[in-house]
Chains A and B, each alone.
Chain A
Amino acid sequence: MSDKNQREQDRSQPGAAPRVGVYICHCGGNISDHVDVEKVCSDLAQTPGVEITRHNMFMCSDPGQELIMEDVKSGKVDRVVVASCAPSLHETTFRNALIRAGANPYIYEHANIREQVSWVHHGAAATAKATRLVAAAAAKAARLQPLEPIRVPAEPHAVIIGGGVAGLKAAAELAGRGIAVTLVEKSPFLGGHTAQWDHLAPTGEAAREVVAELAAAALSNPLVSIITSAEVTALEGYVGQFTLTVTRRPPAASDLPEQLPTAAVGAGAPGTFVPGHGILPAPLPEESETRRIKTGVVILATGFRPYTPKRGEYGYGEWEQVVTLPELIRILAEQQQQPPPEPVLTVNGRAVRRIALIHCVGSRQIPGIHEERPDGTLNQYCSRTCCTALLHAANEIRQRFPAVHVIDCYRDIRTYGRGQEELYTQAGRNRVLFLRFEAEDAPVVETAPPGSESPLQVRVKDTLTFGEEVQAPVDLVVLGVGMEPGPIPELIEMMKLPIGEDRFLQEVHPKLRPVELAKAGLLLAGTCQSPMDVGEACSAAASAAVKAAAILGRGLVELDPFVAQVDPNRCRGTGLCLEACLNDGALELVSCERAGEAGRRAQVNPALCLGCGACVAVCPEGAIQVNGWTLDQFEAMVDAIVADQQAA
Chain B
Amino acid sequence: MATISTQFVEELEHYGVDTTMDCFNCGTCAAICPLIYEHFPRRMIRYAQLGARERILEQANDLWHCLHCGLCTLTCPRQADPGELILGLRRLVVAEWRRADHV
Contact = CB atoms under 8 A, between A and B. Distances in A.
Interface of A: 354, 405, 407, 428-429, 431-434, 436, 459, 464-466, 468-473
B69 interface: no
Given A466-B39, A470-B1, A471-B4, A433 B50 contact: yes
Contacts of A459: 1
Contacts of B6: 354, 405, 407, 433, 472
Nearest to A430: B21
A428 B21 contact: yes
Contacts, number: 52
Contact of B24 (A434, A466, A468, A473): A434
Interface residues of B, number: 20
A468 B49 contact: no
Nearest to A464: B25
B52 interface: yes
Given A466-B39, A466-B43, A470-B52, A429 B2 contact: no
Nearest to A436: B25
Nearest to A472: B4
A471 B21 contact: no
Given A433-B49, A470-B52, A465 B2 contact: yes
B52 A434 contact: no
B46 A464 contact: yes
A470 B21 contact: no
B21 A432 contact: yes
A423 to B, nearest CB: 13
A532 B93 CA distance: 49
A471 B1 contact: yes
Contact of A470 (B2, B43, B78): B2
Given A405-B6, A433-B49, A459-B1, 5 more contacts: A432-B21, A434-B24, A465-B46, A470-B52, A471-B4
Contacts of B52: 470
Contacts of A405: 6-7
A405 B4 CA distance: 11
B75 to A, nearest CB: 17
Nearest to B4: A472
Interface string B22-42: 111100000000000001000
Given A428-B22, A428-B24, A434-B24, A465 B50 contact: yes
B59 interface: no
Given A407-B6, A433-B50, A464-B46, A469 B24 contact: no
Judged by DSSP, the binding face of A is: strand
30 contacts: A405-B6, A407-B4, A428-B21, A428-B22, A428-B23, A428-B24, A429-B21, A429-B22, A431-B9, A433-B49, A433-B50, A434-B24, A436-B25, A459-B1, A464-B46, A465-B2, A465-B46, A465-B47, A465-B50, A466-B43, A466-B46, A469-B2, A470-B2, A470-B3, A470-B50, A470-B52, A471-B2, A472-B3, A472-B4, A473-B3
Contacts of A434: 24-25
A431 B78 CA distance: 13
Contacts of B24: 428, 434
Contact of A433 (B2, B3, B21): B21
B46 A433 contact: no
A471 B2 CA distance: 6
Nearest to B39: A466
Contacts of A472: 3-4, 6
Nearest to B27: A464
A431 B47 CA distance: 14
Contacts of B50: 433, 465, 470
Contact of B2 (A431, A468, A473): A468
B52 to A, nearest CB: 7
Nearest to A429: B22
Nearest to A356: B4
B43 to A, nearest CB: 7
Nearest to B25: A464
Nearest to A353: B6
Nearest to B2: A470
A436 B46 CA distance: 12
B30 to A, nearest CB: 11
B81 to A, nearest CB: 13
A433 B4 contact: yes
Contact of A471 (B3, B9, B78): B3
A242 B19 CA distance: 63
Interface in B39-96: 39, 43, 46-47, 49-50, 52, 78
Nearest to A431: B21
Contacts of A470: 1-4, 50, 52
Nearest to A457: B3
A356 to B, nearest CB: 10
B88 to A, nearest CB: 16
Contacts of A407: 4, 6
Contacts of B7: 405
A312 to B, nearest CB: 23
| Most A CB within 10 A of own CB, among B7, B21, B23 | B21
Nearest to B5: A472
Contacts of A473: 3
B79 to A, nearest CB: 11
A435 to B, nearest CB: 8
A344 B49 CA distance: 24
A490 to B, nearest CB: 47
Contacts of A432: 21
A469 B25 contact: no
A440 B22 CA distance: 28
A405 B25 CA distance: 19
Nearest to B7: A405
A473 B7 CA distance: 12
A397 to B, nearest CB: 13
B15 to A, nearest CB: 16
Contacts of A436: 25
Contacts of A468: 1-2
A325 to B, nearest CB: 21
| Most A CB within 10 A of own CB, among B39, B49, B50 | B50
A437 B7 CA distance: 22
A429 B2 CA distance: 24
A408 B20 CA distance: 16
A467 to B, nearest CB: 12
Nearest to B21: A431
Given A433-B6, A433-B49, A470-B52, A428 B78 contact: yes
A429 B24 CA distance: 11
Nearest to B50: A470
